[in-house]
Structure 1
Amino acid sequence: MNQTANYQLCQWDPTDRILMEDFNKDNEKIDAALKANADAIAAEAAARAEADEAVKAALPLVKILDFTTEAPAPQVDLTVPDLTQYASVTLCLEAAGCPDLALRVNGSTDYRYCDAAGSGSGGDYCTELVELWAEDQHPWADIHFSWPRPGAPVRAVYFTVRDTTYQGFQCYCRDCTWEEVTTFNLLAPGGTVPAGTRVLMYGVRK
Structure 2
Amino acid sequence: MNATPNYQLSQWDAEDRVQRVDFNADNAKIDAAVKGVDRRVDSLSSSVSTINTSLSKKASTTSLNSAVSRISALESGKVDKSAHSSDVSALRSENCWVKLGEKYTTADGQTAKIAIPNISAYRELEIVFRGASATSSSCYIMLVCNDITSSRVFTSHNSFNNAISAMYLANLTNTQGGGTVRLFPLWPDSQTALHSTYIAKITGANKAWSGGQYEAVFEEITWDSIKSLSIFASPNAGGLAAGSGMSVYGLKK
> TM-score normalised by the shorter chain: which range applies?
0.7 to 0.9
Larger Rg: 2
Is contact 1:84-1:150 (8 Å) kept?
A: no
Q: CA deviation at 1:177?
A: 0.9
In structure 1, stretches of 5+ residues that fail to align are 1-8
Q: 1:126 Cα deviation (Å)?
A: 1.6
Cα contact 2:179–2:199 (8 A) shared by 1: no
Query: Scaled by the length of structure 1, what TM-score is found?
Result: 0.81
Q: Aligned partners of 1:160 and 1:26: how far apart in 2?
A: 71
Answer yes or no: is the 8 Å Cα contact 2:96–2:252 preserved in 1: yes
User: What is the rounded CA distance, in whole Å, between the counterparts of 1:56 and 1:148 in structure 2?
Assistant: 26
Give % identity: 12
Q: 2:211 aligns with which of 155, 166, 171?
A: 166
| Residue 101 (structure 2) pairs with residue 61 (structure 1) | no
- Is 1:129 paired with 2:167? yes
Distance (whole Å) between structure 2 residues aligned to residue 84 and residue 53 of structure 1: 20
Query: Normalising by the residue count of structure 2, what TM-score does the alignment of the two structures yield?
Result: 0.68
- Equivalent residue for 2:150? 110
Counterparts of 1:150 and 1:20, CA distance in 2 = 78
CA gap 1:50/1:141 in 2 versus in 1, 3 angstroms: same
Other-structure match for 1:197:
244
Structure 2: unaligned runs, 5 residues or longer: 1-41, 203-208
- Among 216, 227, 232, the alignment partner of 1:187 is 232
Q: What do residues 18-61 of structure 1 show as CA deviations (whole Å, max 9, x unaligned)? A: 11111110110011101110121122012102211112112222
Are residue 39 (structure 1) and residue 84 (structure 2) matched? no
Aligned letter for 2:81? A
- In terms of fraction of residues, the more helix-rich structure is 2
Tell me what 2:57 maps to. Answer: 21
Aligned length: 196
What does the per-residue CA deviation read over 1:121-160, in whole Å, with 9 as the maximum and x for residues that have no partner? Answer: x542222123422145213120112346673221101123
Greater share of residues in strand:
1
User: RMSD over aligned Cα, in angstroms?
Assistant: 2.6
SS class of match (1:81): coil
Match in the other structure for 1:176: 221
Give 1:151's aligned amino acid.
Answer: D
Within 2, Cα distance between the matches of 1:15 and 1:148? 85
Q: Does 1:153 align with 2:191?
A: yes
Whether contact under 8 Å (2:150, 2:166) holds in the other structure is no
Deviation of 1:202 (Å): 2.1
